[in-house]
């Protein structure tokens, strides 16, 4: 059986219902086709054009990787679910200002994180729009939040793993601190990905070396011992403290509110500064409690100079202020993080929390409350 084709050799479209064919918008589209004003995009996207597009949109580096790349096997199902027909993932890196990230003032560092986050989202959206205008189907998942909370806690909540894609595309290598280290910009980048339904003429190649210089400063900076010298990583310790005012910490706080008998009981559990900080995170973008592993990292050609010139001064001006800062450290009871924090940073108050990962304590009965009441 042969397929009917139009005069240009393309497969002919089936006839439209009369009512649909008479619609002004339909007639306009068909008229443009007959006039040759609607062209088909190239089957393969030019890599140089794509890179220039990404840089013009606000990215500081970009590379494409095929969804068939062996290191992306775990991403294929998720990518195809987000954009059926995805062929290529475009990884982009956006730089952060280093001294903002290094500041002991968390408001300064958090502002930098969130401003760069917005810049990365904006860049990815611009690239997606340009690809769409060129005739491709494209989609840009969020850099971070918002994510698919309806999936929590049964499955992963992110649409695409930006770090995994960036490493496969050659934008960097995963460091000891579990952040991607860019060969030029170091750890001071945020990552974002665009999905597109076409191949690209040239794909990025994974780095043949690790930009990490094995200084172990991220180990020294982490206040809850989440990073070990041998490469082990305690993700629960990291998220319990650093993400205290994100999802898990909010859950823990909500449970505390629900479990408090009255305002006085609540204030005995949550300090005024903690309540104010949480309010700020609820009314503004949420604040990271640490991020020190990223702040002290000297890796990357644009970053490495001051560390090579005077390592002692680097320690005194970058590492020590974060180590010396008096701040509350949030840990799970009887955890390694609790023991480490108390031993390594005795000047930093340590507070036990559930982190939202554990069920709340059983509520006291009326009889229990009467027993405790003077």
Q: pTM of this prediction?
A: 0.86
pLDDT above 90: residue 238: yes
Predicted local distance difference test score (pLDDT) of residue 362: 58
pLDDT above 60: residue 183: yes
Contact 53, 123 (CB under 8 A): no
Predicted local distance difference test score (pLDDT) of residue 68: 97
Count CA atoms within 13 Å of residue 100 on its CB side: 15
pLDDT tens by residue, 187-230: 999 999 999 999 999 999 999 999 999 999 999 999 999 999 99
Q: What's the distance, CA 73 to chain centroid?
A: 20
pLDDT above 70: residue 262: yes
Predicted local distance difference test score (pLDDT) of residue 265: 93
pLDDT tens by residue, 136-168: 999 999 999 888 888 888 889 889 999 999 999
Predicted local distance difference test score (pLDDT) of residue 361: 56
Residue 198 tokens, joined = 């076409």
Q: For 270-283, give one letter per residue: b (16+ CB within 10 A) or e.
A: beeebeebbeebee
Predicted local distance difference test score (pLDDT) of residue 357: 67
pLDDT above 80: residue 2: no
CB neighbours of residue 109 within 10 Å: 25
The stretch 171-200 carries a mean pLDDT of 97
pLDDT tens by residue, 21-36: 999 999 998 998 888 7
pLDDT above 60: residue 3: no
């Amino acid at each position: 059986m042969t397929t009917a084709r139009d005069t240009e050799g393309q497969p002919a479209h089936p006839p439209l219902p009369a009512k649909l064919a008479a619609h002004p918008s339909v007639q306009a589209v068909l008229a443009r086709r007959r006039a040759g004003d609607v062209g088909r995009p190239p089957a393969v996207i030019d890599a140089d054009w794509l890179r220039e597009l990404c840089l013009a949109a606000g990215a500081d580096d970009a590379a494409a990787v095929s969804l068939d790349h062996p290191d992306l096997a775990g991403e294929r199902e998720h990518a195809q679910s987000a954009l059926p027909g995805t062929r290529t993932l475009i990884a982009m890196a956006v730089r952060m200002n280093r001294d903002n990230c290094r500041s002991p003032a968390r408001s300064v560092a958090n502002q930098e994180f969130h401003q760069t986050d917005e810049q990365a989202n904006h860049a990815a959206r611009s690239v997606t729009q340009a690809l769409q205008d060129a005739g491709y189907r494209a989609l840009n998942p969020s850099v971070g939040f918002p994510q698919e909370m309806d999936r929590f806690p049964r499955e992963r909540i992110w649409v695409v793993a930006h770090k995994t894609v960036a490493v496969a595309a050659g934008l960097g290598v995963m460091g000891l601190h579990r952040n991607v280290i860019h060969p030029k910009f170091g750890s001071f980048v945020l990552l974002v990905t665009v999905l597109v339904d076409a191949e690209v003429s040239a794909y990025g190649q994974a780095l043949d070396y690790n930009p990490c210089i094995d200084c172990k400063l991220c180990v020294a900076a982490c206040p809850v011992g989440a990073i070990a010298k041998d490469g082990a990583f305690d993700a629960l310790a990291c998220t319990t403290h650093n993400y205290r005012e994100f999802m898990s910490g909010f859950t823990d706080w909500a449970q505390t509110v629900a479990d408090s008998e009255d305002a006085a009981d609540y204030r005995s559990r949550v300090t005024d500064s903690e309540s104010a900080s949480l309010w700020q995170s609820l009314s503004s973008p949420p604040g990271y409690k640490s991020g020190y592993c990223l702040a002290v990292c000297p890796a990357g050609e644009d970053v490495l100079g001051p560390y090579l010139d005077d390592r002692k001064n680097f320690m005194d001006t970058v590492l020590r202020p974060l180590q010396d800062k008096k701040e509350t450290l949030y840990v799970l009871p009887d955890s390694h993080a609790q023991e480490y924090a108390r031993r390594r940073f005795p000047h930093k108050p340590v507070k036990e929390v559930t982190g939202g990962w554990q069920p709340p304590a059983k509520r006291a009965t009326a009889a229990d409350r009467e027993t405790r009441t003077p």
